[in-house]
Amino acid sequence: MPLDHRRVRGPEESQPPELWAGVAEQEEEEEGAAPRDPYALRPLFARAGLLSQAEGSAYVELGGGTKVLCAAWGPREAAEPGAPAEGGRLLCEFRRAPFAGRGARCRPGSAAEREAEREAAAALREALEPAVRLARYPRARLTVSALLLQDGGSALAAAISGAALALADAGVEMYDVAVGCALCRAPGPAGAWLLQPGEAEERRAAGRLTLALLPALNQVSAVLGSGEGRLPKAWAQALRLGLDGCHRLYPVLRQSLLRAARRRGATAAT
């Protein structure tokens, strides 16, 4: 039977609009909920050494729905003729899966989304470069890629932690594992800073801050802020809160690297 090209045929199976009514009501309830503890951290799950196609990999998931998969390759010989002889180059990529988020965020494949991905990749490189011993890899390049599978808030911070784990899992020499932690300031004159905000909290936030820390060295590798933080004292408070959050997340990332090393050792022994 010939196809009818005069019209776009709908799917054979479809869902009634009423199915999503409960989701909208749930989001409205969350927006009207009582303020949560600003010092509370969302549960963090991290696992290194997942992908066999990459030299290093890591998966990071935050309670609330944020899921990031990272992979690392290198060192490889730099093909660029102008590659620096005194050290290597770190190339970072950040991509959002088409199904990563719902709502009025950037449309998949749009110019706005591509620009947002470039900015996130630049922020990822800024946060990771101080952690990698690039001087040990002259005329070489290291590549790390972060794929956002689901955006439930604090996505860039989760990508920083996952990318650092992937580089460490690949055997890249590092000064320390970078830990990312995000904060946002609730709207209103008395709005407090919240650790690891969810997607709805980020959408309503008056100010946002993403911090990357090398805990063993107690060195901040990147600070990325936007919006209104009111007085400078408020930004200082946010920094202290973010540093505390990074120190509390660090043991989880270390344990994931240790478990990956044990699995690799057990596989080699057999």
**For the segment 58-67, what is each residue's pLDDT rounded down to a tens digit?**
999 998 889 9
Report the predicted TM-score, pTM, of the whole model to 2 decimal places: 0.83
Residues 6+ apart with CB under 8 A from 45: 59, 60, 61, 62
* Torsion over CA: 50, 54, 57, 63 (sign): negative
Q: Are 43 and 62 spatial neighbours (Cβ–Cβ below 8 Å)?
A: yes
Q: Are 165 and 70 spatial neighbours (Cβ–Cβ below 8 Å)?
A: yes
Instruction: Give 179's strand partners.
Output: 213
Q: Are 196 and 107 spatial neighbours (Cβ–Cβ below 8 Å)?
A: no
Say if residue 34's pLDDT is above 80. no
**For the segment 9-20, what is each residue's pLDDT rounded down to a tens digit?**
545 555 555 444
**For the segment 114-167, what is each residue's pLDDT rounded down to a tens digit?**
898 999 999 999 999 999 999 999 889 999 999 999 999 899 999 999 999 999
Instruction: Give the DSSP H or E segment for 175.
Output: none
- Average pLDDT value for the chain: 82
Nearest to 208 by CA among 220, 196, 219: 196
Percent of the chain with pLDDT over 90: 50
**For the segment 176-226, what is each residue's pLDDT rounded down to a tens digit?**
999 999 999 888 777 788 899 988 888 888 889 999 999 999 999 999 888
Nearest to 195 by CA among 204, 208, 214: 208
Which domains can be identified in the chain, with CATH numbers?
Answer: 37-78+85-269 (3.30.230.70)
Q: Is the previous residue joined to 84 through a cis bond, with omega within 30 degrees of 0?
A: no
Q: How confident is the model at residue 238 (pLDDT cuts 50, 70, 90)?
A: confident
Q: How confident is the model at residue 27 (pLDDT cuts 50, 70, 90)?
A: very low
Instruction: Give 144's strand partners.
Output: 72, 92
DSSP, residue by residue, 180-214: EEEEEEPSSTTPPEEES--HHHHHH-SEEEEEEEE
Q: How confident is the model at residue 80 (pLDDT cuts 50, 70, 90)?
A: low
